[in-house]
Structure 1
Amino acid sequence: MRPIRPSRRSLTAAAAVLLAVASGMSAASAAPDDADTRPNVVLILADDLDATTTPVWQAMPRTAALIRDRGTEFTDGFAPMPICCAARASILTGEYGHNTGVLTNSGPVGGFESFRANGNESHTVATALHNAGYRTGMAGKYLNGLEHDPGHIPPGWDDWNAGVDNFLYSGYNYTLNENGTFVEYGIAPADYETDVVGAKSRKFITDAAESGQPFFWLASSTSPHFPIPPAPRHLAETRPTAAPRSPNYQEPDVSDKPSWLVDTAAPRAATIAATNDIDYTNRLGALKSLDEMVAGIVETLARTGELDNTYLIFTSDNGYSLGAHRLTQKMAPYEESMRVPLAVSGPTVEPGRSDAMALSIDLAPTILDWAGVPVPDRVDGSSLTGVLRGDARWRTDFLAEYGGPGADGREGIAQEQIPGTETPLVYVLDMPSWSGVRTQRYLYVRWYERERPIEAREYELYDLRSDPYQLTNLVKTPEGRAAHADIVDTLDRRLTELTECAGPACR
């Protein structure tokens, strides 16, 4: 094993503190002039991990202890673009989907090709940090559609280890582009995708610590995205477990829902009955290895002397329905699809909880703030650093968007199928495009935003105080629309503002 040199913080910073105590100087003034003491950032991104139904912290006790309990948990974390590619595009740029041009997984308003065609690669968090002198790297899932140009390495990444086929979702038999070399992984236990991402994370951190350069690392396992199984070592302890039966599970009466759900309610319910508990069991089992991956990352940061100067973020790209409203998958404007776990720890983060509405688009400006890099005006999100300091001013609503599956039904979750497992049913189980505004009390949604003229669209309104499970659409009937006309008018105007916003106007 190669010996590890003491890092820039394990000795240099410690010596500076001792000198400061002896001489009466501050630790900062005692640091060597050539030491780059800017903080590191590690973003650990789960895949399809909801914060509503899945008991995340019980399933991941190490992550709870090492990140959540050492820092701040955002109990109102949201993914405003609740499908993989759109969500990840917003994380990388800090922008809403209507500004990245990525609202789904493929087609004119989705996928890696749309992300690149709209110029987003020039202004990601990776390019900003790389240009500011950070060492950057990632492993695992990047953006849906990268498989169509597998040799591509986006600008800003010094260490690139991205999956280039959908076998990544199975945990085995996938290929990574490792800095321009295609490396195939098979079916051996050591090839399990979460473990490979974990090993690459530990190596990057170790190497970056030796270099003395501040670093940014994205650990992006596909866990617990369907159908990844538990790691081999966890199979024996993974017991069949029924998914939680919340009040909206297999919602009995969906007559007040949009017509797409009314028309497909029966096959959706049948799919949930056949697959949901199996899916949930595998998800809980897969989270065990993800939890171990997080622990390995934190242990490596501690061993290299970097932990005290590293911000850690644990979150997911989007949530997951798990049978709510007869829905599998995500994409919906409902709580199960949009709520995600979010915990942050680091040098200036005090332990505690926050109920601030924290969005995926807030991660990029927060990371740039920590690194001392100016946040571009084009960014729609807001840095969470103020909230973490206890500042009271914060957003009271946000925009949510989805671009739909396209005219042939293949541009949404169909893009996440493993080759050889395609089924026509997946096209039925997608949903039309929509936009919505979520306030602290209400959810208001306009359906068929891209498919129908405005006079033919459908609407939903939920009072989340009295109806947290979104069982009663207040504007389904003429009487309901009349009774809530003022609220609808206000929310509709606000929704129009947000769907057209850019930069500061979105904050």
Structure 2
Amino acid sequence: MTALREPDTVTANKPNILIIMVDQLNGKLFPDGPADWLHAPHMKALAARSARFKNNYTSSALCAPARASFMAGQLPSRTRVYDNAAEYISSIPTFAHHLRRAGYYTALSGKMHFVGPDQLHGFEERLTTDIYPADFGWTPDYRKPGERIDWWYHNLGSVTGAGVAEITNQMEYDDEVAFLANQKLYHLSRENDDQGRRPWCLTVSFTHPHDPYVARKKFWDLYEDCEHLLPEVGEIPFDEQDPHSKRIIHSCDYDNFPLTEDNIRRSRRAYFANISYLDEKVGELVDTLTRTRMLDNTYIFFCSDHGDMLGERGLWFKMNFFEGSSRVPLMIAGPGIDGGLYETPTSNLDVTPTLCDLAGISMDEIMPWTDGMSLKGMMNGAERTAPVLMEYAAEGSYAPMVAIREGKWKYTHCELDPDQLFDLEADPLELTNLAGDPAHIAVLEGFIAKRQARWNMAEFDASVRESQARRWVVYEALRNGSYYPWDHQPLQKASERYMRNHMDLNILEESKRYPRGE
């Protein structure tokens, strides 16, 4: 693998950073950038000049815990963002804090699923509100195992209702996210057109291709003859599913949504179509960077929070550690980075340390409490030896689950269930659990020892239960009487936009033109 080249002295001090985050993108579709059959020319062009991490994993296969971990480089057991309604406390440093502390302008356009009154977490500015609520209303309850909270738990209506539409709730959101992000890039190019410019980090976070599986016709039509509209592994009979998969099937109300082959084909077709929809957005962002002459001095990270099972094994959405749900794409491009494929397992927990390392920012003050590691050394040819860790303690589970991905192995543990051990080289579809095979007892015992050294499962479970119980009390209290929502309210200072009478028109028109004098 070609080593990471050192940027020139101009870009070494102040690289810009563009983080493009998508939602629920299955990493198996990115074996080396987008799969050949995907209609994604802009992502493929980005991949050609990126470091591509084939076996990259989420920290937790659900939106809020995955994103909190992504931003902090800490597992959910440290952030205590266990589920989609757990508060992200303000005292946890995120990459936005680290970069802002070092002088960066930090902004977010789109989703990050922050729960709680702090809706910034280091971002100096948010351009949009979030697509999901910021309160405690989606709190699961381990005291009531098996209970379905029907008004917000997933169900298979997303699958039975798959198809075509020209506008949806999610399309409206992502169109706005892209528009405001491109507008911000134009603004940054004008603001920073001098030697004393302030470096920036803009995070652009889309909600596609997250279900519901509905796509615009122009993207839907791209996959009319697609050969990948059925899963590799068909539905596994309920009695043969592992215990956690049975819980997921119950929590998502599968029994009330019988699926046809056509439902499955249409859902996967819309999902692939929405990857192409996102590809168009990626192309717009890169084009804006190019035309504003900022591309050569900008690191671009392309990533996702977690994956989607897409009907594999008869499972949909996420919430488990199988490859479709837990494996996610990660591509990094920018000054000094040569394109290349890396197959050693990595984690979204590594993104924050990598961002800081590339920007020349030390995380030494908090590294003892960080679960990720910088990938800069790996891009320079160093070996990554740390295992990849994952946790899940949200809806569909009755107790916390943990997983370790190391070498060719994936190990999964829950105190309620038999262990799972998969050899992903020999068994990439995870069909043969080797945990009960005497021939692999030494491997299993090695992972058990690592798990016991890393996690106290009883303490983990107690912490989750305490958090859930507290939040149920607070949520029900705050919904009584006068209610003040925590949802982010984007502020546009109308008196500072376009032309106003406290501005000099001659200066204004010149300063808002970029490039100038051409």
Offset at 1:390?
1.8
Assess if the C-alpha contact under 8 Å between 1:462 and 1:472 holds in 2: yes
Give the aligned partner of residue 375 of structure 2.
Answer: 384
Percent of aligned pairs sharing the same letter: 25
Alignment pair present for 1:131 and 2:128: no
Alignment pair present for 1:41 and 2:48: no
Offset at 1:458?
2.4
Question: Structure 1's 372 and 27: CA in aligned 2 closer, same or farther, altered over 3 A?
Answer: closer
Alignment pair present for 1:357 and 2:317: no
Give the aligned partner of residue 203 of structure 1.
Answer: 183
Alignment pair present for 1:404 and 2:381: no
> Relative contact order (alpha carbons < 8 A, sep ≥ 6): 1 or 2 greater?
2
Question: Structure 1's 163 and 226: CA in aligned 2 closer, same or farther, altered over 3 A?
Answer: farther
Q: Which range moves more in the overlay, 379-388 or 282-291?
A: 282-291
Assess if the C-alpha contact under 8 Å between 1:396 and 1:440 holds in 2: no
Measure the CA separation in 1 of the matches of 2:101 and 2:266: 45
After TM superposition, the structure 1 = structure 2 runs for residues 172-321 of structure 1, keeping only pairs within 5 Å, are 192-212=172-192, 213-227=198-212, 229-231=214-216, 234=219, 239=224, 244-251=229-236, 255=240, 257-258=242-243, 261=246, 264=249, 267=255, 270-271=258-259, 275-321=263-309
**3-state secondary structure, aligned to 1:288:** helix
Measure the CA separation in 2 of the matches of 1:465 and 1:203: 45
**3-state secondary structure, aligned to 1:314:** strand
Assess if the C-alpha contact under 8 Å between 1:272 and 1:328 holds in 2: no
Structure 2, gaps ≥5 residues long: 1-6, 135-165, 193-197, 458-518
How many residue pairs match? The answer is: 406
Give the aligned partner of residue 80 of structure 1.
Answer: 59
The partner residue of 2:76 within 97, 112, 117 is: 97
Question: Structure 1's 340 and 127: CA in aligned 2 closer, same or farther, altered over 3 A?
Answer: same
Question: Structure 1's 389 and 276: CA in aligned 2 closer, same or farther, altered over 3 A?
Answer: same
Offset at 1:244?
4.4
Measure the CA separation in 2 of the matches of 1:354 and 1:329: 26
Offset at 1:483?
4.3
Give the aligned partner of residue 7 of structure 1.
Answer: none
Give the aligned partner of residue 160 of structure 1.
Answer: 126
Give the aligned partner of residue 504 of structure 1.
Answer: none
**3-state secondary structure, aligned to 1:219:** strand
Give the aligned partner of residue 445 of structure 1.
Answer: 412
Measure the CA separation in 1 of the matches of 2:380 and 2:357: 13
Alignment pair present for 1:467 and 2:427: yes
**3-state secondary structure, aligned to 2:214:** coil
Measure the CA separation in 1 of the matches of 2:17 and 2:399: 37
Alignment pair present for 1:434 and 2:401: yes
Offset at 1:383?
0.7
What's the TM-score once normalised by structure 2's chain length? 0.70
1:120-142 CA-to-partner distances (Å, cap 9, x unmatched) read: 2xx01111111111111111111
Offset at 1:248?
2.6
After TM superposition, the structure 1 = structure 2 runs for residues 22-33 of structure 1, keeping only pairs within 5 Å, are 28=9
Question: Structure 1's 211 and 262: CA in aligned 2 closer, same or farther, altered over 3 A?
Answer: closer
Give the aligned partner of residue 70 of structure 1.
Answer: 49
Assess if the C-alpha contact under 8 Å between 1:92 and 1:364 holds in 2: yes
Measure the CA separation in 2 of the matches of 1:303 and 1:395: 40
Matched to 1:468, the amino acid is P
**3-state secondary structure, aligned to 2:240:** coil
Question: Structure 1's 157 and 490: CA in aligned 2 closer, same or farther, altered over 3 A?
Answer: same
1:12-63 CA-to-partner distances (Å, cap 9, x unmatched) read: xxxxxxxxxxxxxx974xx6xxx99510111101100002257844435333
Matched to 1:439, the amino acid is E
Question: Structure 1's 54 and 68: CA in aligned 2 closer, same or farther, altered over 3 A?
Answer: closer
Question: Structure 1's 475 and 190: CA in aligned 2 closer, same or farther, altered over 3 A?
Answer: closer
Alignment pair present for 1:374 and 2:330: no
Structure 1, gaps ≥5 residues long: 1-25, 169-185, 410-429, 502-507
Q: CA RMSD in A?
A: 3.3
